[in-house]
Amino acid sequence: MDVVLETVFNLCGTDLLPVAIPLLIYWIYRSRKIKNDLKGKVVLITGANSGLGEALAYVFYTAGCKLILAARRVDQLERVKSDLLKLNAESETFEPVILPLDLSELETIPQKALEALETYKQVNILINNAGISFRGNIVETSLEVHMKVMCVNYFGQIALTKALLPSLIKCNGHVLAVSSIQGRIALPFRSAYAASKHALQAYMECLRAEIPEIKVSVINPGYIKTNLSVNAVTGSGEVYGVLDTSTEKGYTPKYVAEEILRAVIMEKKELIVSPLLPKMAILFRILTPSLFFYFIRLWAKRKK
């Protein structure tokens, strides 16, 4: 500790020490909190087979959590589990548990929640990460597509949350919903997706207000470099099959996962992981909605 203080003194000089020392104390506290607070916590991650879900599995596994990895593709979950077990973690780790789960099959979700609880008797942290994206215009998009996207991105998420709620309340647990910037502002040609994320955002805000025994965090990322756009559905229900340029230039899943880990540790109610422009757009939407809608309409015309 003396060596660290001496280094700070040399770097900052005496004038900045009143600021540097409190920051140093906070940094040490925060580092220890990261290492200790999550050890042994049971974390259920949906959509853990790839992309952001896989990255979340890595960061929570190395933090010493007991993972329940949930997704439809069991073979991919097995791959993620195998990769995790090969890691040389600095602290004690636990072998992940695999839970086959299809959020579109709403009637099976209560039983799947029971299976998760049978493993560790509780779930401390639920990360609602699984989801499906959409590309298409409103006129040509079938109602069935809207229902499919809403089922996975909204009804499936709240069905799992409700099924695990008694356990989460009992252990003062934490619910995370991976929403999107489009949970705050809607973009053209994303109607089904944006609507589902708006709904999820609203539900989680109500959940936070009504049940103070649990913590609720809504994560609103911008573009993440995953296959989300490739696997998106179109207005006819077909697979989009294209990696959008904006998605390709997005944040890495690892970066977003680490930000989410910090949000859990610091118990943030909401986290926006995006460049400055989307954050400004959210503020713009609140302060000058008419002007915001005008520019969004111009943007939509260029995209047609």
With a pLDDT cut of 90, the percent of the chain lying above it is 73
Residue 132 contacts residue 182 (beta carbons within 8 Å): no
**What whole-number distance in Å separates Cα of residue 179 and Cα of residue 218?**
6
Average pLDDT score, the chain: 89
**pLDDT above 50 (res 5):** no
Q: Assign 3-class secondary structure to the chain.
A: CHHHHHHHHHHHCCCCHHHHHHHHHHHHHHHHHHHHCCCCCEEEEECCCCHHHHHHHHHHHHCCCEEEEEECCHHHHHHHHHHHHCCCCCCCCCCCEEEECCCCCHHHHHHHHHHHHHHHCCCCEEEECCCCCEECCCCCCCHHHHHHHHHHHHHHHHHHHHHHHHHHHHCCCEEEEECCHHHCCCCCCCHHHHHHHHHHHHHHHHHHHHCCCCEEEEEEECCECCCCCCCCEECCCCECCCCCHHHHCCECHHHHHHHHHHHHHCCCCEEEECCHHHHHHHHHHHHCHHHHHHHHHHHHHHHC
Rounded mean pLDDT, 211-235: 90
pLDDT on residue 4: 45
Report angle CA 89, 92, 94 to the nearest 5 degrees. Answer: 95
Tokens of 226: 């995953």
Closest CA to 206 of 227, 177, 242, 185: 177
pLDDT on residue 212: 95
Task: Give me the residues paired with residue 215 across strands.
Answer: 174
Residue 230 contacts residue 240 (beta carbons within 8 Å): yes
pTM equals 0.87
Active site residues: 193
Phi, psi of 30 (to 5 degrees): -65, -40
pLDDT band at 164 (very low <50, low <70, confident <90, very high): very high
pLDDT on residue 234: 87
Determine which of 4-18, 75-89, 255-269 has the lowest per-residue pLDDT on average.
Answer: 4-18
Rounded mean pLDDT, 161-185: 96
**pLDDT above 90 (res 10):** no
pLDDT on residue 228: 81
For residue 251, the number of C-alpha atoms closer than 13 Å in the C-beta half-sphere is 18
- Give residue-wise pLDDT tens across range 257-295: 999 999 999 999 999 999 999 899 999 999 999 999 999
**pLDDT above 90 (res 243):** no
pLDDT on residue 21: 59
Segments making up each domain of the chain, as ranges:
40-272
pLDDT on residue 170: 96
Strand 233-234 with 134-135, pairing: parallel
Pick the more confident residue, 5 or 28: 28
Pick the more confident residue, 3 or 138: 138
**pLDDT above 80 (res 2):** no
- Give residue-wise pLDDT tens across range 123-133: 999 999 999 99
The dotted CATH code for 40-272 is: 3.40.50.720
pLDDT on residue 230: 82
Determine which of 84-93, 162-171, 249-258 has the lowest per-residue pLDDT on average.
Answer: 84-93
**pLDDT above 50 (res 8):** no
pLDDT band at 28 (very low <50, low <70, confident <90, very high): low
pLDDT on residue 233: 85
121 CB burial (10 A radius; 0-12, 13-18, 19+): exposed
Pick the more confident residue, 58 or 250: 58
Cβ neighbours for 133, distance < 8 A, ≥ 6 positions apart:
190, 193, 228, 229, 231, 232, 233, 240
